[in-house]
Amino acid sequence: MRKTLTAAAALVAAGLTVQPALADDGEAAIEHRNDVMNVAGAAMGAIGCFMKGDCALPNEVLVRNAKAIAFAGEASVAAFETDTTDSMAETTALPAIWEKWDMFEGGLTAMTEAANELAVASAEGDRSAMGPAVQKLGGTCKECHDAFRE
């Protein structure tokens, strides 16, 4: 579990505070947005571990993980602005992202809002209070993945 939390913290500290210069072929853009999404995935994994009762996490760690997901939602807007449809680099991002940008951006906003709600619900570390917020957040992830991810 520590590795998951450490990996997320390292990604936030090292790669997400400033958007990197983007290569013409889109490779750097794809790498950057993968890093952003990995932060969200690692944080969601930690929350999922707690919710299943597989690990104990202090309340402040739960809140930080939820805030990391909210941060990833916000950072994703800039991370996905570069259309990499014609890039030769490997990606699971569908062209629909740039074809339906407003819908995609709206999904990221919904993710950010749901993660912020989870941060509030996580303050006491009460699984029953967190449950609906985790479900709502997971729903935003699923909707976006179903529509925009290969």
Which positions ≥6 away from 123 have C-beta within 8 Å?
59, 63
Report whether 145 belongs to an annotated binding site: yes
Q: Does 141 carry a binding-site annotation?
A: yes
Residue 32 is assigned to a ligand binding site: no
Q: Dihedral of CA 20/115/38/2: which sign?
A: positive
Nearest to residue 108, comparing CAs of 81, 66, 63, 73? 73
Binding site per annotation, positions for heme c: 141, 144-145
Binding site per annotation, positions: 141, 144-145
